Structure 1
Amino acid sequence: MSAPRDQHFLVDQRAVEKIAGFVDVSGRRVLEIGPGEGVLTRALLDRGATVVAVEVDPALVEELEFLFADEIAEGCLQLVPGDATKVDFPPFDIVVANLPYSASSKITFRLLESGFEVAVLMYQKEFARRMIARPGKPGVGRLSVMVQTYASVKPLLELSPNSFRPKPQVRSWVVRITPHEPPYPLADRGVYADVVRVLFSYRRKTVRKALRSGKDAFAPEAIERAIAGLPDDLLQLRPEDLSLEEFALIANRMSGCLHDELPARG
């Protein structure tokens, strides 16, 4: 079967076994996004998982229904046709998936909002590197800040294009994502997400100018009120130079909170 656009089937069986074994899935409900031809699905089922597989391609759904007819009848596998950026997810505990490159960001943010115990996910290598770029360091961006605010990320495995059919033009990383509470108090998580988005939309500007450019997200009076409550040295920084604590402070000021003073930058 030929691969749909943007889908690269994992054909390296040793990699499949490693990915399926990175977390204990026995007796757990595992969400798999983009099961493709079902090689990872089979490995998860063999380890005792109940799999919820979300597949956007109707031809692949039909093929999976045929290949896994017994498992579907037994209730071990639930196929969910649809786009993983939009379709409702049935209840799940763990995520194990080879994500489509073009939807990696949207799906990752959706998963973090949905909540899960642990995820083992495959990404394009450069995308995964951005996820672990430390705030205040080169390469940091909206993805880095949002993921690290709500989860820890650990690289587990690197795969070459030879592990896939058809071969992608890039290398891939498999990472473990473990959710945690934000390291600093957030008055409003929605405001925090908007602040991070706005600041990185104007990443070459200072924080002061970037906030004032964010009139699509915040009322001008709210922006000016927040700026008045923030340290001047912070307002002169660029967004890529901020720590997670400083992002939290800016968002809390935008939410109207006036506590959580920052220590002086060292």
Structure 2
Amino acid sequence: MSAIDTLPPLRAVIATHGLSARKALGQNFLLDLNLTSKIARQAGDLAQCDVLEIGPGPGGLTRGLLAEGARKVLAVEKDARCLPALAEIAAAYPGRLEVIHGDALEVDPLAHLTPPIRIAGNLPYNIGTELLVRWLTPKAWPPVWDSLTLMFQREVAERIVARPGSKSYGRLALLAQWRAEARIVMSLPPEAFTPPPKVSSAVVHLTALPEPRHPADPAILSRVVAAAFNQRRKMLRASLKGLAPNIADILEQAGIAPTDRAEQIPLERFCALARLLEDQAAKP
């Protein structure tokens, strides 16, 4: 394997610093620097970008992002054991790596970043979906980030890119595809990781759209989608009855059969339904 920098192989880094992966932190380390470099390349040309990386661990993807030319990497790491290894990377790339020791769900990184901003990470399994939803639902759009290049369990990745009619189609697909272009760009087997997880993984690349694909109030759309998929086996006239007393009529106005189920409905129809509910709520 060709080296991407002058730093030691990741297995040596882990041995030196005693970095056994911890299940409680959702850690599964990716040690092949060829793979971490390939993931970094999926984020595109990084030369003029700051990159926010969540959960760098021993720094495999961090090294890939820096070697690919990222202007700056801001790495947020909860596990204090990883900080000395990340400090060694910072020393090898002077002025280009900043590490924040903290919980990614609690840290506000914006003060440390200059646009354009891209986000990358082999996300800890236990917080990956929550982080994605936060990035897809900011108060204002377009968001502060241009793109997301993120590793998930394969099942979660498939939910992000799912189409209507599939078992994976649901709230996550609608949130992602309403405001972003989402595609799976890499697949990785369990044996690529240390320790190997019980499931396969995949990298999803999301590019922020300048504006949502269809107009809708974000809060209303979120409420509609949540109600529809919380009871996905029910007909929509039943699962959405709490949103309006005349929900069957509103569904028909939106071009949706009241007897349809949530997994059958494309994004455009959900947005039309959200607009009609907003109009009804605005009436005196």
Global fold match (TM > 0.5): yes
The amino acid of 1:153's aligned partner reads: A
Q: 2:270 and 2:76 mapped to 1: Cα distance?
A: 34
Q: Deviations over 1:133-178 (max 9, x none)?
A: 1023332111111111111212211111221111111111112111
From 28, 34, 44, the equivalent of 1:14 is: 34
CA contact (8 A) 1:200 1:239 kept: yes
Residue 106 of structure 1 pairs with residue 136 of structure 2: no
Q: Which amino acid aligns with 2:151?
A: M
Offset, 1:39: 1.5
Cα 1:51–1:257 change in 2 (3 A) is farther
Match of 1:244 among 258, 267, 279: 267
**1:2 and 2:25 equivalent?**
no
Partner in structure 2 of residue 190 of structure 1:
219
**What residue is the counterpart of 2:189 in the other structure?**
160
Residue 8 of structure 2 corresponds to none
Which amino acid counterpart does residue 249 of structure 1 have in structure 2? A
Q: Distance in 1 between matches of 2:274 and 2:134?
A: 21
User: Which residue identity does 1:98 align to in structure 2?
Assistant: N
* Deviation by residue 1:209-261 (Cα, 9 ceiling, x = unmatched): 1112x4xxx5xxxx125544331852221111111111112211221269xxx
Q: Percent of pairs identical after alignment?
A: 36
Q: Note closer, same or farther for the CA distance 1:155–1:256 as it changes in structure 2 (3 Å cut).
A: same
Seen in structure 2, the aligned counterparts of structure 1 residues 26 and 142 have a Cα distance that, compared at 3 Å, is: same
2:55 and 2:181 map into 1 onto residues whose CA distance is 23
Equivalent position SS for 2:263: helix
* Structure-1 residue corresponding to 2:175: 146
Cα distance 1:226–1:86, how it changes in 2: closer, same or farther (>3 A)? farther
Secondary structure in 2 matching 1:60: helix
- Structure 2 match to 1:231: 252
Q: Aligned-residue CA RMSD in angstroms?
A: 2.1
Q: Deviations over 1:31-73 (max 9, x none)?
A: 11110001111121222210011112222235423x235368x
Aligned partner letter, 1:7: Q
1:235 match: secondary structure: coil
Q: TM-score scaled to structure 1, two decimals? A: 0.85
Moved more, 110-119 or 126-135: 110-119
Tell whether the 8 Å contact from 1:56 to 1:81 is kept in structure 2 after alignment: yes
Aligned with 2:57: secondary structure?
coil
**CA distance in 1 between partners of 2:272 and 2:245 (Å):** 15
Q: What does 1:67-86 correspond to in 2, within 5 Å?
A: 67-70=88-91, 74-86=94-106
The structural deviation recorded for 1:127 is 1.1
Whether 1:52 and 2:74 are equivalent positions in the alignment is: yes
Partner Cα separation in structure 2 for residue 230 and residue 149 of structure 1: 19
Q: Gaps (5+ residues) in structure 2? A: 1-18
Cα drift, residue 2 of structure 1:
0.7
Aligned to 1:205: 234
Which of 52, 64, 73 does residue 31 from structure 1 map onto?
A: 52
State the partner residue of 1:97: 121
**Distance in 2, Cα, partners of 1:227 & 1:167:** 49
CA distance in 2, matches of 1:13, 1:46: 11
Q: Distance in 1 between matches of 2:199 and 2:29?
A: 14
Q: Which residue of 1 aligns with 2:10?
A: none
Distance 1:111 1:60 in 2: 25
State how many pairs are aligned.
247
1:4 corresponds to which letter in structure 2? R
